[in-house]
Structure 1
């Protein structure tokens, strides 16, 4: 929610901070997403080394502090700095949560269902931002930030009640407790058998997402696909006012309700996913020793073409001669497609990279945050030059090409993994965190 909560407060921010029209108006969202680029690259691998819970607790506390700072910002520059810091400390759940789910659920079907709930939550947040700010901005531009801070306080209570899920951290804590009780140092956790220096550990863990992004084809292509789909969402934040306020005369609050329609589509996806899980569960039971990550991908194979259809529908029906309900309803298949793509690709990467799912997901989170921060800066020029219909068509054509990614993974995914040294060691080593840390230290 933090990324989009300022979307409808831009006119008020322009008035208060004397910001001219133009590309500066998208900077509150852009700066937040820049923080989303930086955060996962550091915090996700640190969570694999020092535990999920400490990372989530401390970063959420800092996020609350810097969100409050946004509401109290004395000028435009300070607001943008606080937005970057808010984004950095809001980013860990986007990658660490996937790792926690992989820690807890060894059963891939159960893990998939948990990821469905999580990926739905990651969609609800950005959708809720425009709805909330669409109504709160008329009272004060600060109310969107106060709302985000209060909701984060509720989340902090939930995180504090969450136990540690990382096996290596749990064993390390147990060993430390036993050593303290026995007054000895005889108990050593497996992850500590080859303990590296703090500097070397930080170097390895913080470069792992980048290593995966540029050396693992599965991660690279997933990053590319998810990054573009994610950036389209933030482009729609800029296009929607042109359509629903400019063409149909909606208020900012009413325009934000289009995102509620999008959420309705994502709910449909949850139901479809749960039904599909029954089929996947049957396959897994028949072939328990066979890698079945590819079973995640048919959902994305449906979502990709549907995403293209939704964009064409929106672009070519946004005309004064066509009732507003027609382009608005395009957000139902858009919500379905967005959720299908994210849900399938996140599940696939989580299954494929096991204990290092957080690092792989961090690479994806960083890539899509870069795209979400940079690509929407071109929206005004694109719409001015091409118009709404052809702008949406351009996005649809690019989406059509990228929709081939999950099909390619189904056909060649196992061959790609068979050639990957990282994947081989992950499958063959009893303690992959030790073996891969040892090998990455040589990179």
Structure 2
């Protein structure tokens, strides 16, 4: 959550950046879009590093170094210096973007992955709208954008403390496989070692893999080979379009579209994200949580039921029907002609749909690959999503300025909805054949 949260936290400060640094509102938006690409690229590096030294040391270092970069950002006095700290902070906070899904796979069994991955993706989806909602009133009441980074640094330090007590090591252990009903399907090898003492998971740091460091450069780029796997690349394309034209569009363009159109201050800009979190006091959060229940736990139950009907034959494609309505719902975010609650309602509906797509895509793409390839999938999805999202702020203003709000939103919704639904339908129809052929 804190990766997207940190990237979006500066949104209410755009106008303040314009005044302090003498830049345009578009240049101010680069404080969000530039970190986005580093949040996508560097998880490819952290994943093989954590595979060797363990997840826990990487998470601890991530939180501590991110706090240092946020403290440094609060004391910068130029556009370039602040951008530099934003880049390094994105690099250091990015590990959970890839190893988070791997840790879910290490802690839970196959029949639980949909629901557990859904909780992880839910927090990722909540990061961008929650950050401006908190930082907007903070910047408005203090009058200083520096308070954004001081608060982020304190959050990272709190995260570091929580990691110490609540994040044991999860890598480097042999685990049994489980059948659909949760019973053990394949026992551990007879040469199993004694149970690891619990305190070793918290206080003992060790190499968890003997893989040589010389192979690290190859492993960094290896997840990119997923581009030739159709059951991975097509859902990833659908998810990337929804993410760019829902999450990125809402978080980056709200200050320039709604903020300037209705002359909103920093606090009012932050409150525009309330629909994504608490729509009409409670419904937005319910929408996000209901989206997660529907896509995660609901699709897990559906998978169990379909598998039993198919005499125990579990197919990843059974999960895909839950993603198609999500693509359509995620694009309900057209701004109104005069300020009213309509955009806020649209944000809440969009978040519900985005959560459906996110959970289904991650779960399906991971399950569609053999066990030895599954750890590469989350890093590839994050890379593709963030890379496409990085380009969006550079051109999203153009259709809104030339076509108007309604037509531009319709164009982007048609593009993401049309391509997204086609990609998921293709996987639903041909996914089993593609997996059988290894493509």
Equivalent position to 1:361, from 378, 387, 392: 378
CA contact (8 A) 1:261 1:332 kept: yes
Partner residue, 2:289: 267
Unaligned runs of 5+ in 1: 178-188, 422-443
Q: Does 1:279 align with 2:302?
A: yes
**For residues 135-182 of structure 1, what are the alpha-carbon distances to aligned partners after superposition, in whole Å with 9 as ceiling and x for unaligned?**
1222110111122222222222232231222235999xx79x9xxxxx
In structure 1, how many angstroms separate the alpha carbons of the residues matched to 2:374 and 2:66? Answer: 23
In structure 2, how many angstroms separate the alpha carbons of the residues matched to 1:122 and 1:238? Answer: 16
Partner residue, 1:216: 229
TM superposition score normalised by structure 2? 0.82
Question: Which stretch has the larger CA shift, 203-212 or 82-91?
Answer: 203-212
**For residues 159-208 of structure 1, what are the alpha-carbon distances to aligned partners after superposition, in whole Å with 9 as ceiling and x for unaligned?**
2231222235999xx79x9xxxxxxxxxxx9965xx5x421x21331121
Cα–Cα, structure 1 residues 352 and 376, in superposed 2: closer, same or farther, change >3 Å? same
**For residues 234-262 of structure 1, what are the alpha-carbon distances to aligned partners after superposition, in whole Å with 9 as ceiling and x for unaligned?**
22224323554344454432332232212
Q: Does 1:350 align with 2:363?
A: no
In structure 2, how many angstroms separate the alpha carbons of the residues matched to 1:93 and 1:359? Answer: 14
TM superposition score normalised by structure 1? 0.81
CA contact (8 A) 2:172 2:209 kept: no
Q: Secondary structure at the match of 2:169?
A: coil
Partner residue, 1:205: 219
Query: More helix by proportion, 1 or 2?
Result: 1
Please provide the CA RMSD for this pair.
2.8
Q: Does 1:404 align with 2:422?
A: yes
Partner residue, 1:160: 164
Count of residue pairs brought into register by the alignment:
395
Q: Does 1:377 align with 2:389?
A: no
Partner residue, 1:11: 15
Partner residue, 2:180: none
Alignment of 1:66-85 (within 5 A): 66-85=69-88
Cα–Cα, structure 1 residues 136 and 191, in superposed 2: closer, same or farther, change >3 Å? closer
In structure 1, how many angstroms separate the alpha carbons of the residues matched to 2:311 and 2:378? Answer: 25
Equivalent position to 2:105, from 102, 121, 138: 102
Q: Does 1:254 align with 2:268?
A: yes
Cα–Cα, structure 1 residues 218 and 68, in superposed 2: closer, same or farther, change >3 Å? farther
Unaligned runs of 5+ in 2: 176-188, 197-206, 278-283
Cα–Cα, structure 1 residues 237 and 159, in superposed 2: closer, same or farther, change >3 Å? same
The offset of 1:9, in angstroms, is 0.6
In structure 1, how many angstroms separate the alpha carbons of the residues matched to 2:435 and 2:54? Answer: 27
